[in-house]
A and B are shown apart, each in its own frame.
Chain A
Amino acid sequence: MKVAVIGIGCTKFGEHWDKNIQDLLSASQLEAIEDAKISPNDIDAIFSGNMCGGIFSGQQHIGAIAAEILNLNVASSVVEAACASGGVAIRSGLQAILSGLAEVVLVNGVEKMTDTKTPQATTGLMLAASEELELFQGATFPALNAMIAKKYMNDYGLTREQLAMVSVKNHKHATLNPLAQFKKEITIENVINSTMVSDPLTLLDCAPISDGSASLILCSEKFAKKINKPAIYIVGSGQASDSLALQNRKSLTEMKATQIAAKTAYKIANVTPDDIDVTELHDGFSIVEILSLEDLGYFKKGEAGKATAEGKTFLDGEKPINPSGGLKGKGHPVGATGVSQAVEIVKQLRGECKSNQVKNAKTGLTHNIGGCGTTAVVHIFKKEK
């Protein structure tokens, strides 16, 4: 597999009171097109990841908006897989190019979440879980992840401090990322003492509500060479799904979808977990980073907490994780996240990052999940030699 990424664009993530879906989308799309140095007319197809347009903005059918902004009549559709919408949109773009149906694809991810109050946002996010078995019973997304955390802590002895270190790290990285929502470092005490959301997860264990948009220009290897643009290549891709409701999982302390998606991507890319120099993974809640570190094969089962506390996943550690600040530090406009992870990895591999550059990054991985690990999508990126 070898699909080129020749353009990237991404808005700041945060509370964009003055911007709607269209405003956000046009910003990242135009930036990516400029970065790729192509004309919009070169684009054959558009895929846009979005989850909550309908429920928060009364707007679905966002594919039409994406094409209209660029004055194009091309095929343009929305991809939805809850918080994995962005990652799955990338995969849709890949499939279009690999099938030969398109040569240049624009991939977007966009989300507008801040027009609501917390209870409505809480309800909207539960679109990712089971309405019948979980939302109707009063479960919230934080509650589901809290129950995973409690089980993991019960089974593996993860301490509250180790868990909190995930957010400490991601906030630290975020202070080095100009696009991030949060600009302040936090301590373990800050995390533990912040407002309780769902025991044991506090506000600082949970990714925020954000607005934002991110875009990529993908193209065939042939097109990249034709326009003489040095590219970063997507060399591996994997996607998998698991039961919608948490109650129907075999295990509450690992995410099978991540494991399968990662294995597939590693196989296609012909790499192992040890070969990955830099990772953007889905830390929707601090506990998910812990599980994902193990499910991606970076650390043995039960050891991710200790590894985090020992600094191994910090920017200067042996396995840098979420140099952008992750979902927690950078922000989490749901549909945009998967694409923004790819933007960060491409920047890292290009060596374009400033304060949060991982040294000598040659191979990168993005990991994007929807629901409580219901859908998982993993992409592997390589710098062309």
Chain B
Amino acid sequence: MFENNPISKWRKYNNNYFLQADQCINCKKIHFPKGYFCKCQSKSFKKIALSGKGKLLTFTQVTSAPSAFINYSPYCIGIIKLDEGIKITAQVADTNLDELKTGTKVQATLRKLYECGKNGIINYGIKFIPIN
């Protein structure tokens, strides 16, 4: 199925392996993960690196996982507001539900997302860990 296709993942290595965004050259608005057409009508963007620091806006724990993630469940997932103002959906690793609350400070890190069976490619991506 589509979740085991390595080509579509390779296309997005630079979006999945580290946090970067496009900034509109004209009005400086940040587009994440990619900019196509800015509200100011500009089509020109430059890449900016993001700090990876942010706060949990909301979160939950997945216990009924999609096929790809069965071996990794249960896991916590949240919507994180990065310091740059962008929001990202990502797992919160190394933690339990009772250790998290709205506003918990988090930091991005590279982790395995899932393996495509015993023969397929290993998908890596960004997760967040709580920082004190």
Contacts and interface: CB of A to CB of B under 8 A. Distances in A.
Q: Do chains A and B make direct contact within the complex (CB under 8 angstroms)?
A: yes
Interface of A: 55, 118-120, 122-123, 126, 130-140, 142-144, 146-148, 150-151, 154, 196-201, 245-248, 252
A-B complex: 3 closest residue pairs judged by Cβ atoms:
A247-B87, A146-B60, A123-B66
B129 interface: no
Contacts of A122: 64-67
Nearest to A198: B60
A138 B79 contact: no
Interface stretch (B19-27, B43-51, B88-96): B88-96
A135 to B, nearest CB: 7
A123 B79 contact: no
A119 B58 contact: no
A118 to B, nearest CB: 6
A139 B63 contact: no
Contacts, number: 106
Contacts of B89: 130, 133-134, 137, 139, 144, 245-247
Interface in B1-52: 1-3, 9, 12, 15-16, 33
Given A122-B67, A123-B67, A123-B68, A151 B77 contact: no
B97 interface: yes
A138 B66 contact: yes
A122 B66 CA distance: 5
Interface string B76-116: 01110000000111110000010000100000000001100
Interface residues of B, number: 38
A143 B2 contact: no
B30 to A, nearest CB: 12
Contacts of A197: 63-64
B124 to A, nearest CB: 11
Contact of B65 (A119, A133, A137, A245): A119
Interface of B: 1-3, 9, 12, 15-16, 33, 57-70, 72, 75, 77-79, 87-91, 97, 102, 113-114, 123, 125
Centre residue among B61, B70, B91 by max chain A CB count within 10 A: B61
B69 A138 contact: yes
Contacts of B88: 133, 247
Contacts of A140: 62, 64-66
B72 A147 contact: no
Given A139-B89, A196-B63, A198-B62, 15 more contacts: A55-B1, A122-B67, A123-B3, A123-B66, A123-B67, A134-B89, A135-B66, A136-B9, A136-B16, A138-B62, A138-B91, A140-B66, A147-B60, A151-B102, A197-B64
